[in-house]
């Protein structure tokens, strides 16, 4: 529901194939009437345009109608970190930045419903999920820092490695990635670049601090290490290509290695470094070894 582009037909078809009954409207008054006639299990709200109407509708459900059980999910095609993090502070159980594969949206939709059932009657939990292709880790960290937020970021890469980063007042205070902890865990997540998916949620409790370095320093040091690693891999690849592309010159008759030709010296007498080079010089009219 809401003003904006309609949901992709593939997504609607995927939801219907999983047994969800879908009703769409772009009129907020009509949406309220539909809600009062039959309360839905979840509501997907377009938030790409004006925020006032969605905020008023969600506040009406949560505060006036005292509905803490219906899952509210924001759907948006905007991917600015600050915009998504602001949504995290509102009424939504999850934020779905499009485009996103239909099975992933259905899985997140189902998970939100399950969470609401387990927490029936409790205050709604907010957060949003995306991939590092949609939003980079560096942009997220900087946005959380500028907003002075308390948050937890859960991360997983394509290899199944998990990481967790905690922010207190926008500053990284705890990090763990596989067997790494503290600053090395942050550097490892930075090295993943676009390989990873994450979920950001508000945090009210924290594990013991294991990061004491300033967040800006962590990002700069992580980028420096990433650049060095990429440069090292580039040198290794270049060396491998040179070894493959430059085989030794051989005599086709006896397949023995031939010496490299010695160029003539433009000034002074020639001083060959080997007897083989000396014999080559003696055969040249333009070069004579010192007497």
What pLDDT, on a 0 to 100 scale, did the predictor assign at position 166? 97
Largest CA distance in the chain: 112
Assess whether 136 and 182 both reside in one domain: yes
In a domain, 273, yes or no: no
Least confident of 121-130, 208-217, 221-230, 281-290: 281-290
pLDDT on residue 8: 67
pLDDT of residue 256: 47
Task: Kindly state the percentage of the chain with pLDDT values over 90.
Answer: 22
> For the segment 179-199, what is each residue's pLDDT rounded down to a tens digit?
999 999 999 999 999 888 888
Helix axes 81-88, 137-147, angle to 10 degrees: 60
Q: Which two tokens stand for residue 34?
A: 């539909």
- Give the least confident one: 82-86, 109-113, 151-155, 281-285: 281-285
Q: pLDDT above 70 covers what percent of the chain? A: 70
In this predicted structure, what is the pLDDT of residue 116? 59
Band (pLDDT 50/70/90 cuts) for residue 161 is very high
Our count of domains for the chain comes to 2
Q: What is the CATH number of the domain that holds 28?
A: 3.40.50.2300
Q: Is residue 259 part of a domain?
A: no
Q: How many CB atoms lie within 10 A of CB 284?
A: 11
Phi, psi of 215 (to 5 degrees): -60, -40
Q: Is 102 found in the same domain as 47? A: yes
Same domain flag for 50 and 1: yes
Q: How far is CA 191 from the centre of its chain?
A: 10
253 inside domain: no
| Residues 111, 152 share a domain | no
Q: Give pLDDT, residue 21.
A: 84
Question: Among 67-81, 154-168, 275-289, which range has the highest average pLDDT?
Answer: 154-168
* pLDDT at residue 206 is higher than 70: yes
3-state secondary structure of 42: strand
Q: Is the pLDDT of residue 176 over 90?
A: yes
d(CA 117, CA 201): 19
User: Do 107 and 211 share a domain, yes or no?
Assistant: no
Task: State the pTM of this model.
Answer: 0.57
Q: Which residue range is the domain that position 71 belongs to?
A: 1-129
So what's the pLDDT on residue 11? Answer: 74
When pLDDT is averaged across residues 3-9 and rounded to a whole number, the result is: 60
Q: Is the pLDDT of residue 102 over 90?
A: no
Q: Based on the domain organization, do 43 and 85 belong to the same domain?
A: yes
Same domain assignment for residues 1 and 70:
yes
Span 245-254, pLDDT tens digits: 545 544 444 4
Looking at the fold, whether 137 and 112 belong to one and the same domain comes out as: no
Quickly state the pLDDT bin for 92 (edges 50, 70, 90).
Answer: confident
- 3-class SS string, 234-272: HHHHHHHHHHHHCCCCECCCCCCECCCCCCCCCCCCCCC
Query: Distance between CA 144 and CA 42 in Å, rounded?
Result: 28
Range with the poorest average pLDDT among 3-17, 66-80, 117-131, 255-269: 255-269
In terms of average pLDDT, the best of 33-42, 219-228, 254-263 is 219-228
Across the chain, mean pLDDT equals 76
pLDDT above 70 for 76: yes
């Amino acid at each position: 529901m809401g003003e904006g582009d309609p949901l992709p037909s593939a997504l609607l078809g995927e939801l219907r194939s999983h047994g969800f009954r879908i009703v769409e409207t772009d009129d907020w008054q009509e949406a309220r009437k539909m809600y009062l006639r039959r309360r839905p299990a979840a509501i997907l709200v377009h938030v790409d345009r004006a925020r006032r109407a969605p905020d008023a509708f969600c506040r009406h459900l949560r505060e006036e109608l005292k509905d803490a059980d219906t899952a509210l999910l924001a759907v948006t095609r905007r991917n600015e970190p600050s915009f998504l993090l602001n949504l995290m502070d509102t009424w939504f159980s999850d934020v779905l930045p499009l485009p996103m594969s239909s099975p992933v949206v259905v899985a997140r939709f189902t998970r939100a419903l399950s969470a609401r059932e387990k927490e029936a009657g409790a205050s709604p939990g907010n957060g949003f999920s995306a991939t590092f292709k949609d939003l980079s880790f560096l942009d997220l960290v900087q946005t959380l820092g500028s907003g002075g937020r308390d948050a937890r970021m859960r991360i997983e890469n394509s290899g199944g490695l998990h990481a967790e980063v905690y922010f207190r007042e926008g500053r990284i205070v705890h990090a763990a990635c596989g067997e790494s902890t503290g600053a090395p865990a942050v550097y490892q997540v930075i090295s993943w670049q676009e390989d990873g998916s994450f979920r950001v949620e508000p945090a009210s409790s924290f594990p013991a601090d294991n990061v004491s370095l300033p967040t800006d320093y962590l990002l700069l040091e992580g980028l420096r290490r990433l650049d060095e690693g990429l440069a090292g891999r580039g040198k290794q690849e270049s060396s491998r290509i040179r070894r493959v592309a430059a085989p030794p010159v051989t005599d086709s008759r006896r397949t023995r290695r031939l010496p490299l030709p010695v160029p003539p010296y433009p000034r002074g007498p020639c001083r060959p470094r080997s007897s083989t080079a000396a014999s080559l010089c003696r055969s040249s009219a333009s070069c004579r070894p010192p007497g």
